[in-house]
Chains A and B, each alone.
Chain A
Amino acid sequence: MALPAGTKDRGWAVKCTSRTRRKLIDRTMKAAAGVAVLIGIGVLAWVLSVVFVRGASALSWSFFTKLPAPPGAPGGGLGNAMLGTLLISAGATLLGVPAGIMAGVYLAEYGAGTRFGGFVNFMVNVMMGIPSIIAGLFIYALLVVSVGHFSGYAGAMALAFLMMPVVARTTADMMALVPDQLRESALALGAPRWRVIVQIVFRAARAGLLTGVLLAVARVSGETAPLLFTALNSPYWPRSLAGPTANLTVTIFNDAMSPYANWQRAAWGASLVITLGVLTISLLTRFILRRRA
C-alpha cells in the first residue's frame, strides 16, 4: 500500500473506525428489520385478540337466531344480519364469479396478444384498485336512483363489481400457467375450443380458479362501504333481496356509532363473526394453494 509517509497510521485508523461503524450500521438495520416484523405481527395479534376477547362475550345462541333488541333491552341477536350477509354475498358470487371467469377466459385464451386483450387486461388491474365505496356509489346512481329504493340486489351488484376483476385476474393468471401442449392435445383429438377450455384447461387450473373465487368472496364479504347506500340495513329478517337488507357490516357501523352499550357489544360480536368468516376463507385459500404446490 503506497501511502505517503506520515499519513499511514492515520489512514489505518480511519479505515478501522469506518469498518466498525459499517458493522454497527449493519447490525442496527438488521435489528430494525426485526422490529418492523414484530410491529406488523404485533398489530395483527393485537387486533385479532381484541376482536376475539370482546366479541366472544357477545356471542350466545340467541345472537345467531334472534332479531336485534331495542337499546338497553337485554337479549336479542343479529340473526337477520347474518342471513342477509350470506344472501348478499351469495348473490354477488352468482353475478361476479361467472362474469369474472369468462373475462379471465378471454384474457388467457382468446385475447392474449391482441390490442383489445391488452387493454382489457390493463383495465382489470385498474378496476381492482377502484375504492369499494365508489362501487357502492356507482350502483346507487345506476340502480337505487332508478328503482327508487335501496335493495339487497343493489348490494349484491356492488359487491359483484368488486369481485369481478379479482376473479378475472386470478383466472387469467392461473389459466396462463396451463401448458399449451395440453390445449393442443385436446384440439388434436377433435375437441372444439370451448370444450378444451371447460374440460381440460379449467380442470388443470381448478385449484387456482377456486383460490381466485375464494379470495374474491373473502374480499367482499367483509365489505361495508359498498353496502352503505345500496343494501342499507334493516331491523327485520330478509324475506327477499328486493328491499333494504340487514347485513353484518353495516350493522357493525351503525351499532358502533350508537351510544348504547348493548348495541356496541353486538357490534363486537358481529365483528368476531365476520372476522372468523373472512379468516377461515383466507386460510382455506392458502391451504388449497399449498397442497397444490
Chain B
Amino acid sequence: MSTIRASVHGAPASAGPMPKAAHTGAISVRHLNFYYGSHQVLFDNTLEIPGRSVTAIIGPSGCGKSTHIRVYNRIYEMYRGQRCTGEIFLDGENILGSSVDLIELRRRIGMIFQAPAPFPMSVFDNVAYGLRLHYQLPRSELVDRVEDALKGAALWDEVEAKLHHPGTALSGGQQQRLCIARALAVEPEVLLMDEPTSAVDPVGTAKIEELVQRLKERLTVVIVTHNMQQAARISDRTAFFFEGRIVETGETTALFTNPSKKQTEAYITGRFG
C-alpha cells in the first residue's frame, strides 16, 4: 500500500503513481445479510455511499444500524458466531473478500465508537498509536503528524500543553475528539462513527458536529445516530433502517421533508422508535 500513501501525499517518484480518482472512499453495499449465529439481523442491505460526503444512518434502536457499519471494517470478526453474506465495495474493491488485508482495510476505514475509548496512555501516544502500528517514522515526523491529527480533530489548542498527560484525564467530549484524532492520524479514506455523541455533552457534541462537516472535505463519513436532528444537521444523505432492512435512502433534506415510505414518515415524525 505504500503506493497509495505516496500518491496521497504527492510523494516523489520512489513509489509508482496511482490514479487518485479511484480512492475517494466511495462505498457500495450489495445484498448484505448478517447473522448472530443462526439469528439473522440484517436483510439484503443495498446502499450506495458517495465518496467525500456525510451519510447518516438512522432508525429505531435495535434495527441493525451499528451492526451494518461494523461490517465495513469487519470488526465483527472479533466475535465468534457472527457472519455475513453479500458484498461491500470500497473504491471498487470487495472488502469482504478473503484475500483482503484486514490491517490495511482498517487503516483505510477508521471507526469511532459510542463511548470515548482513549487508550491507557498519554494523549500523544494515543494519537501516535496507529502511526507506530503502520509506519516506521522518524521521531520528528511522528511529532508533526500527531500535531496535524490533533489540529484536524480541533483538539490541538486544548491539549497542546498536556500532550504527555494520560488521555483518560480529558473531558468526555475531548476524549471523543482524541479518538477522532487517533483515527485521522493514519489518514483513512472513510470514517465510521457509531453514535459518537451519545456520551458527550451538548457543547462537545456541537464541536464534533462542526468537525464532521469539515472532515467530509477529505474523507467519507458514515455516522450512525439515534438523533434525527443531528442527522438532519450534518448529513448529505440519510439511510433509514427498520428491523434490519434499509427502508429508504436519499438526500437528507428530501428524506426528511418528503419521505416516500410510510415507515420513514412515521419514524421521523416521532410516532415510534
A residues within 8 Å of B by Cβ? 113-114, 179, 181-193, 195, 199-200, 203-204, 206
Inter-chain contact B119/A185, CB cutoff 8 Å: yes
Describe A's contact surface by its main secondary structure. helix
Closest residue of chain B to A191 (Cβ to Cβ) is B133
Interface stretch, picked from B55-63, B72-80, B85-93, B259-267, is: B72-80
B15 at the interface (CB under 8 A from A): no
Q: Which residues of A contact B103 (CB under 8 A)?
A: 190-192
Inter-chain contact B113/A184, CB cutoff 8 Å: yes
Inter-chain contact A188/B111, CB cutoff 8 Å: yes
Inter-chain contact A190/B133, CB cutoff 8 Å: yes
What separation, in Å, do the CA atoms of A179 and B117 have in the docked complex? 9
What separation, in Å, do the CA atoms of A200 and B78 have in the docked complex? 15
Nearest-CB distance from B153 to chain A (Å)? 14
What separation, in Å, do the CA atoms of A190 and B182 have in the docked complex? 12
| Per-position binary interface string of chain B over residues 107-130, scored 1 when its CB falls under 8 Å from any chain A CB and 0 otherwise | 101110111010111000000011
Closest residue of chain B to A182 (Cβ to Cβ) is B117
The interface size of chain B toward A, counting residues with CB under 8 Å, comes to: 29
B183 at the interface (CB under 8 A from A): yes
Indicate whether A187 sits within 8 Å of B113 (C-beta atoms), given known contacts A113-B80, A200-B120, A203-B120: no
Indicate whether A187 sits within 8 Å of B75 (C-beta atoms), given known contacts A182-B117, A203-B119: yes
Q: Tell me the B125-153 residues at the A interface (CB within 8 Å).
A: 129-130, 133-134
- Which of B78, B121, B182, B186 is close to A184, meaning CB atoms less than 8 Å apart? B78
Q: Which residues of A contact B104 (CB under 8 A)?
A: 190
Closest residue of chain B to A110 (Cβ to Cβ) is B80
B residues within 8 Å of A by Cβ? 73, 75, 78, 80, 102-107, 109-111, 113-115, 117, 119-121, 129-130, 133-134, 179, 182-183, 186, 192
What separation, in Å, do the CA atoms of A184 and B183 have in the docked complex? 12
Inter-chain contact B107/A184, CB cutoff 8 Å: no
Inter-chain contact B106/A189, CB cutoff 8 Å: yes
Inter-chain contact A185/B130, CB cutoff 8 Å: no
Contacts beyond the supplied A188-B192, A204-B119, A204-B120: 4 A-B pairs with Cβ under 8 Å = A188-B73, A190-B134, A191-B130, A203-B120
Nearest-CB distance from A125 to chain B (Å)? 23
Inter-chain contact B80/A184, CB cutoff 8 Å: no
What separation, in Å, do the CA atoms of A113 and B79 have in the docked complex? 10
What is the number of contacts between chain A and chain B, taking CB atoms within 8 Å?
72
What separation, in Å, do the CA atoms of A195 and B102 have in the docked complex? 14
Nearest-CB distance from A175 to chain B (Å)? 13
Indicate whether A181 sits within 8 Å of B114 (C-beta atoms), given known contacts A190-B104, A190-B107, A195-B133: yes
What separation, in Å, do the CA atoms of A203 and B168 have in the docked complex? 13
- Which of A113, A189, A206 is close to B183, meaning CB atoms less than 8 Å apart? A189
What separation, in Å, do the CA atoms of A200 and B102 have in the docked complex? 19
Inter-chain contact A189/B129, CB cutoff 8 Å: yes
Q: Which residues of A contact B107 (CB under 8 A)?
A: 189-190
Q: Which residues of B contact A186 (CB under 8 A)?
A: 119, 129
What separation, in Å, do the CA atoms of A228 and B117 have in the docked complex? 50
Q: Which residues of B contact A190 (CB under 8 A)?
A: 102-107, 130, 133-134, 186
Closest residue of chain A to B109 (Cβ to Cβ) is A188
What separation, in Å, do the CA atoms of A206 and B183 have in the docked complex? 25
Q: Which residues of A contact B75 (CB under 8 A)?
A: 184, 187-188
Q: Which residues of A contact B115 (CB under 8 A)?
A: 179, 181
Nearest-CB distance from B222 to chain A (Å)? 13
Q: Which residues of B contact A199 (CB under 8 A)?
A: 119, 129
- Which of B80, B113, B121 is close to A185, meaning CB atoms less than 8 Å apart? B113
Indicate whether A183 sits within 8 Å of B78 (C-beta atoms), given known contacts A190-B104, A200-B119: yes
Q: Which residues of A contact B121 (CB under 8 A)?
A: 203
Q: Which residues of A contact B129 (CB under 8 A)?
A: 186, 189, 191, 199
What separation, in Å, do the CA atoms of A206 and B120 have in the docked complex? 10
Ranked 5 nearest A-B pairs via Cβ: A188-B111, A190-B106, A189-B130, A190-B107, A185-B117
Q: Which residues of B contact A204 (CB under 8 A)?
A: 119-120
Inter-chain contact B113/A189, CB cutoff 8 Å: no
- Which of B80, B109, B192 is close to A114, meaning CB atoms less than 8 Å apart? B80
Closest residue of chain B to A178 (Cβ to Cβ) is B120
